[in-house]
Amino acid sequence: MNKLFRYFSFASVAVLLMFTACDPAGSGTDIENPEQYKQVYMPQANSMPAEEILILKDEVQNITYGAGYGGPSAPASDIKVSFEFTPALADSFNEAQGTDYPLIPEQAFEMEASSAVIPAGERASAPLKLRVNPYGSLELDQPYLLPLSMSSIEGGYIVNPDLETTYFLLTASLDFLDRSGWSVVEVSSEEVNSQGASTLDGDVNTFWHTAWSQSQPDYPHHIIVDMKNMQTIGGFQITNRQNDSRGMTRIRLEGSTDGETWTSFGEFDFEQINDPQRYFIESNPKIRYFKLVALEGPNFFTFVSEIEAF
C-alpha cells in the first residue's frame, strides 16, 4: 500500500471529524473560515484498497458505496452526488501501489444507481449497492480492481480529493460446505485400515483404498456420501492419496435427493497429483447424497484422500 496516500486519506477524515467535534452545537461559529472544511467524500475510499471477498457461485452479491459530508455543520441543502466506474484509473493505481491487479470485467457488476443525495441536515447518503455476480467472469482467487469515483457534486461543495475514488478490490473464493455430521453410507469395497470414512476426516495422509489384500475387485469403484441435509452444490474438490500415482484417472460425479435415484453431473479426468482438484457443476443442483464413481485407472484398485463440496 502507498503509505503516503493512506496517511493523507486518514488525515483528511480526521480533520473533518475534528472540526465537527470542536463545534458540538453544529453552528460553525468557533471555526475560522468554516466553508473550506465543507467537503464531500466516499467513506469507502478510506480503505486503500477496499477489499471484498465474494463467493464464486452464480448469485448476485452486494457491496456498499455512497457519499458522506464532512464539515463543522450539516449541509443546509440537499447535495446530489453522481458516481461512475472509472477504469482509466486502474493503471495509475497499480503504478502507485506497485501492483498488477486486472480490471474487473464490466459484465460482472452493475451499479444500483449512478447518483445519491445527502439530505439537508444529514451527513451521509443512503447506501447504494454494487451488484456483483462473479460466476463466469472472475477467476478463482484472483483479485480484480473496480475503481468507482464521484463524477460530479451539485451545490458548490468541495470534493475531498483524497477520498474521491474508492478502489474496490474484489476476490472470488469458494465457500466449502461444513462436513460435520456427514457420513459415508456406501463403498464398493474398502480395506480394513483404509476405509471410506477417511475421505471426510480432513487429513490428507489418510485415505479410502478399495480392496486389494483379500480380494481384487476391478473398476468401476464408488463411494457415496450422505450430507444429512439438502444442499445446493456448486462443485466438488477431490484430493488424491499423496505421493502415489497408481489410482483412478477417470471419474463420474452423481447426486441424489433420496439415495436411490441418481443424476449424473458428468465424467471428468482425474490427475495423479497431490493438489486438490475441483469440478464445477454448472446446474447448481440441490441434493442430499453424492456419489464418486472411479471409472478407470492403470491398476484394478483406486484410492481417495479427501472429498469436499462447495
Query: Would the pLDDT of 24 be above 70?
Result: no
Q: Do 150 and 22 lie in a common domain?
A: yes
CATH number at residue 100: 2.60.40.1740
User: pLDDT grade, residue 17 (50/70/90)?
Assistant: very low
User: pLDDT grade, residue 282 (50/70/90)?
Assistant: confident
User: Which of these three, 140, 173, 206, is where a domain ends?
Assistant: 173
Structural domain span for residue 162: 3-173
138-169 pLDDT per residue, tens = 999 999 999 999 999 998 899 999 999 999 99
Q: Do 11 and 128 lie in a common domain?
A: yes
DSSP assignment letter at 164: S
Rg of the chain over Cα atoms, rounded to whole angstroms, equals 28
Q: Do 152 and 235 lie in a common domain?
A: no
List the one residue out of 233, 236, 209, 234 whose CA is nearest residue 223: 209
User: Which of these three, 173, 195, 212, is where a domain ends?
Assistant: 173
Q: Do 203 and 64 lie in a common domain?
A: no
Least confident of 34-48, 124-138, 175-189, 266-280: 34-48
Query: Would the pLDDT of 26 be above 80?
Result: no
What is residue 9's predicted lDDT score, i.e. its pLDDT? Answer: 40
Determine, yes or no, domain membership for 26. yes
What is residue 35's predicted lDDT score, i.e. its pLDDT? Answer: 64
User: pLDDT grade, residue 8 (50/70/90)?
Assistant: very low
Q: CA-based angle 146:152:157, to the nearest 5?
A: 125
Determine, yes or no, domain membership for 9. yes
Contact 278, 231 (CB under 8 A): no
Query: Would the pLDDT of 20 be above 90?
Result: no
3 state DSSP class of 279:
strand
Which helix (H) or strand (E) covers residue 118, if one does?
strand 115-118
Q: Do 231 and 122 lie in a common domain?
A: no
Cell of 19: 472540526
Q: Do 27 and 167 lie in a common domain?
A: yes
**What mean pLDDT comes out for the span 173-181?**
96
Determine, yes or no, domain membership for 84. yes
Longest dimension (CA), the chain: 92
Number of domains into which the chain is organized: 2
CATH number at residue 293: 2.60.120.260
CB neighbourhood size of 296 (10 A): 13
Pairwise pLDDT comparison (5 vs 277), residue with the higher score: 277
Compute the mean pLDDT over every residue in the chain, rounded to the nearest whole number: 90
What is residue 71's predicted lDDT score, i.e. its pLDDT? Answer: 84
63-108 pLDDT per residue, tens = 999 999 998 889 999 999 999 999 999 999 999 999 999 999 999 9
Query: Would the pLDDT of 27 be above 70?
Result: no
Q: Do 256 and 293 lie in a common domain?
A: yes
What is residue 30's predicted lDDT score, i.e. its pLDDT? Answer: 59
User: pLDDT grade, residue 36 (50/70/90)?
Assistant: low
Least confident of 10-14, 100-104, 274-278: 10-14
Determine, yes or no, domain membership for 178. no
Determine, yes or no, domain membership for 211. yes
Determine, yes or no, domain membership for 249. yes
User: pLDDT grade, residue 301 (50/70/90)?
Assistant: very high
Contact 40, 69 (CB under 8 A): yes
Q: Do 18 and 149 lie in a common domain?
A: yes
Determine, yes or no, domain membership for 27. yes
Q: Do 156 and 78 lie in a common domain?
A: yes
Determine, yes or no, domain membership for 28. yes
Query: Would the pLDDT of 21 be above 70?
Result: no
User: pLDDT grade, residue 58 (50/70/90)?
Assistant: confident
Q: pTM (2 decimals)?
A: 0.72
Q: Do 65 and 19 lie in a common domain?
A: yes
Cell of 103: 480490471
Q: Do 123 and 9 lie in a common domain?
A: yes
